[in-house]
Every structure is written in C-alpha cells, then in structure tokens.
C-alpha cells in the first residue's frame, strides 16, 4: 500500500474497527460451543437450566455457525483491504456495509430456516433484557451478564454503524477523533454503559418480585461500573490539569472498587465458593465442583485468573497501550475468555442448586436413628 507508516496505521485501525466486533462475536461463539460440549459430557442438563426446547442448538451446531463466521468475516476484511489498496474505494466501502446488513437480516429473517426457533429465542431474550417488564429468569440475567463482557463490541458496532450512516467508510473523516463518529464521541460511553444498566434494572426487578436483599447488593455492583465508564470518557472533554489532579484519581478509585466488588461477587455469589476452604477438607461431593471434582488446582487457577482479568483496565494507565488497537482488541478478547471461564462455574452452581437442594431437603426430613428406634418401640407397644 502506497501510504506513509502513520497513514497506514490509521487505515488499518479503521478496517479493524469495522471487523473486530464480529471477530470477537465469532470467538464468543467458539467458546460457547466449548461450554456446551463440556456440559454435555458432564451430564449437566443445560437445556433444563436455560428452559430450552427440544430444537435448541447443540455444541456441534454452534461450532458450525462459528466456522461460517470464521470464514466470512476475515474474507470480507481481506476484500476491504485489497480493494482499497488497489484504488477501488467505493467497492471497499461496501464490504463492511454488506456484511453488517447480512448479519442483521440473518437474525431477523422471519421464515423457518437457519435455526429459526433459536434465533427467535435469542431475540426474545434480548427484548426481555432491554425491557424487564416480566419476572427475570435465569437465562435472562445469564445472557445480560455475557453482554456486559461484550460492551466494547457494542461500542465498536455503534461507531461502525455511525460511519456507515454518515458515509464515512474509507474516507478521511476517520482522522478526526472529535467528529460525530470519532473516538471521542459522547455516544461511546452511553453505549458502553447500557449492558450494565440493563443488568442493574434486572436486579431491581428481581428485588421487587422476590424481595431478596442480595438483589440490591448485586444492583449496587453493576452501578459501580457507571462512574468508571464516564470518568474514563471525561479524559477527552476536560483540561489536562483537571484530569490529572481531580478526575484521574476518582477514575482509579472507582475502577479498583468495581474490580474488587465484581471479583468478590463472582467467587462468593455467582460460583458459591464462599466455603472454598472446606472443599479441601471434606470428601463430600456436594462441596466439590460437579464438573471438576477433585481437581483443586482448577479452583486456584480460576480464582487467580479471574482477579487478574478483572484488573485489565490498568492498561489504560499507559498512553502507548490505550491507543494501540491491537492491545485494545486483546483486552476485549481476554474479557470474553474470562466470561468463558465464569460460565462453567456459574452454570454448575445453578445445576447444583437444582439437584442438591431437593436432596438436602429430603435428608433433613429423614428421621434420625433415635427417632427410628423410638418409632419402632412405639409400634411394638401398640401392637
């Protein structure tokens, strides 16, 4: 490409902006297939947990979709780069537009082809997340939690669609960070915060329906993400002195609070590892992981890695890293990997609740040995 090094970096950054959201969605699809594969091998009835019908997608069908995405998305990106470098600017600009249009049409296509029931299930779940007007099911807040890990994906999709609508694809408009679709746009923090707000209102709805105090504490956890997002965006809209002396310390404090609160909730509530120490003392199956029974190193790995990945925001402390699109992509991919790990133990915890609580209740209702002897003697006396 006949460009200077700086211009080439900007051009590749723009190309990456259009395609990295779909690459991350493709990654999530592959990992979700692995989740389902492990559940099926571990005899975890995930269809029961998520209230799926008999036509739900298996891990093989998920991987089939991911394979097509792995082929189509890089092919479109290659066509965009090739056409632009050969002077076919209008044809190059049409590549991401056609791809986004095809994805939307595939999701909302009203006919009974290409996994219609699964697409309808997904769209219905998304609608319930946006408008939590009914009782919140496990699948509702489970999907909403996944969406919080894909906030960067939605932000990049918003910027990409904005440039398509304003006819800025493959134009010099992407030089301007302060433009309506630029990297300093006020729409970016608004889109980033939406998944957390959806989850926040789900928690309030859950408190209204059930009255559990933990729902309010969970809502508080999601609310701590709001100042992190808006204070980070404020960097581009205040004086450097104000940012360094006032807003940056607030951002650091809110980021640490959000990371530690979220980490605690993952371990103690979502995974129910509050009795973590007892797992290594007592050989009782209901105290162990259903999936990874006896493999204690897995607990150390998932807890340690979850803490580290909850703190990946620290890359923003480096000006060099925060402006490198490959670094940003890597951080977004690591968050998706963290959520991939989280899914195993969150679903496992829900499965244990479904299976072990009734058994524990039955065992609590069983008469003790003394009661059995007393009943036997009473029966003999009556006879």
- With a cut of 60, say whether residue 364 has pLDDT above it: no
Reported as a single tens digit per residue, the pLDDT across 59-90 is 999 999 999 999 999 999 999 989 988 889 89
Burial class for 169, CB neighbours closer than 10 Å (0-12, 13-18, 19+): buried
Reported as a single tens digit per residue, the pLDDT across 235-258 is 888 999 999 999 999 999 999 999
Reported as a single tens digit per residue, the pLDDT across 262-272 is 999 999 999 98
pLDDT score for 278 = 46
In a domain, 17, yes or no: yes
Instruction: Tell me which H or E stretch contains 372.
Output: helix 369-382
Q: For the packed helices 151-165 and 138-149, what is the interaxial angle rounded to 10 degrees?
A: 70
pLDDT score for 231 = 94
Are the C-beta atoms of 185 and 176 separated by less than 8 Å?
no
pLDDT score for 299 = 83
pLDDT score for 178 = 64
Range of the structural domain that residue 82 is part of: 5-281+290-377
% of the chain residues with pLDDT over 90: 62
In this prediction, residues 106-120 reach a mean pLDDT of: 91
> 48 — phi, psi (to 5°)?
-70, -40
Q: How many domains does the chain have?
A: 1
Structural tokens at position 256: 């640490």
Q: Which residue has the tokens 């009943």?
A: 375
Work out the pLDDT band at 172, boundaries 50, 70, 90: low
Q: How many CB atoms lie within 10 A of CB 152?
A: 21
Tell me which range, 166-180, 210-224, 320-334, is most confidently predicted by mean pLDDT.
210-224
- Entry pTM: 0.88
In a domain, 249, yes or no: yes
User: In this predicted model, which residue has the larger pLDDT, 281 or 319?
Assistant: 319
Q: What is the mean pLDDT of the chain?
A: 85
SS3 190: helix
Query: How many angstroms from the chain centroid is the CA of residue 236?
Result: 27
Instruction: Please tell me the least confidently modeled range out of 163-167, 262-266, 296-300.
Output: 296-300
Separation between Cα atoms, residue 374 and residue 383, nearest integer Å: 14
Work out the pLDDT band at 359, boundaries 50, 70, 90: low
Sign of CA dihedral 250, 251, 252, 253: positive
In this prediction, residues 364-370 reach a mean pLDDT of: 46
- With a cut of 80, say whether residue 138 has pLDDT above it: yes
Are the C-beta atoms of 143 and 129 separated by less than 8 Å?
yes
Q: Select from 250, 108, 96, 226 the least CA-distant residue to 163.
A: 96
In this prediction, residues 173-191 reach a mean pLDDT of: 78
In this prediction, residues 86-106 reach a mean pLDDT of: 93
In a domain, 106, yes or no: yes
Instruction: Please tell me the least confidently modeled range out of 76-85, 110-119, 135-144, 167-176.
Output: 167-176
Separation between Cα atoms, residue 162 and residue 166, nearest integer Å: 6
In a domain, 383, yes or no: no
SS3 243: helix
Separation between Cα atoms, residue 11 and residue 32, nearest integer Å: 32
Query: How many angstroms from the chain centroid is the CA of residue 4?
Result: 38
Q: Select from 27, 35, 99, 98 the least CA-distant residue to 66.
A: 27
Structural tokens at position 249: 């310390």
In a domain, 382, yes or no: no
Work out the pLDDT band at 292, boundaries 50, 70, 90: low
- With a cut of 80, say whether residue 322 has pLDDT above it: no
């Amino acid at each position: 490409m006949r460009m200077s090094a700086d211009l080439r970096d900007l051009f590749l950054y723009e190309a990456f902006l259009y395609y990295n959201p779909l690459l991350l969605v493709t990654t999530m699809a592959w990992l979700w297939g692995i989740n389902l594969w492990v559940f099926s091998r571990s005899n975890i009835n995930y269809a029961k947990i998520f209230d799926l019908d008999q036509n739900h997608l298996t891990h093989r069908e998920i991987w089939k979709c991911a394979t097509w995405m792995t082929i189509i998305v890089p092919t479109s990106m290659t066509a965009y780069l090739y056409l632009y470098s050969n002077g076919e600017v209008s044809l190059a600009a049409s590549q991401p537009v056609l791809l986004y249009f095809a994805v939307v049409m595939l999701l909302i296509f009203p006919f009974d082809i290409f996994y219609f029931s699964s697409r309808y299930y997904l769209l219905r779940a998304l609608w319930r997340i946006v408008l939590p007007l009914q009782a919140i099911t496990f699948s509702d807040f489970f999907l909403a939690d996944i969406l919080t890990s894909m906030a960067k994906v939605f932000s990049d999709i918003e910027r990409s669609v904005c440039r398509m609508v304003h006819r800025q694809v493959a134009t010099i408009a992407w030089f301007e960070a302060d433009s309506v679709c630029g990297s300093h746009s006020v729409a970016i923090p608004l889109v980033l915060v939406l998944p957390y707000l959806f989850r926040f209102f789900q928690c309030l709805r859950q408190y209204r329906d059930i009255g559990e105090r933990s729902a309010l504490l969970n809502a508080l956890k999601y609310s701590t993400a709001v100042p992190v997002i808006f204070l980070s965006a404020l960097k581009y809209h205040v004086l450097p002195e104000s940012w360094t002396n006032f807003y940056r310390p607030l951002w650091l404090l809110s980021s640490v609070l959000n990371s530690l609160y979220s980490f605690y909730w993952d371990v103690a509530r979502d995974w129910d590892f509050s009795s973590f120490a007892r797992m290594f003392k007592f050989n009782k199956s209901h105290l162990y992981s259903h999936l990874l029974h006896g493999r204690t190193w897995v607990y150390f790995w998932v807890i340690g890695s979850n803490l580290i990945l909850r703190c990946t925001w620290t890359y923003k402390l480096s000006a060099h890293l925060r402006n490198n699109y490959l670094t940003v992509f890597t951080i977004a991919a690591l968050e998706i990997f963290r959520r991939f790990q989280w899914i195993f133990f969150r679903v496992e915890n829900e499965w244990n609740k479904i299976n072990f609580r009734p058994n524990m209740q039955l065992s609590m209702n069983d008469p003790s040995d003394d009661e059995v002897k007393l009943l036997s003697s009473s029966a003999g006396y009556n006879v």
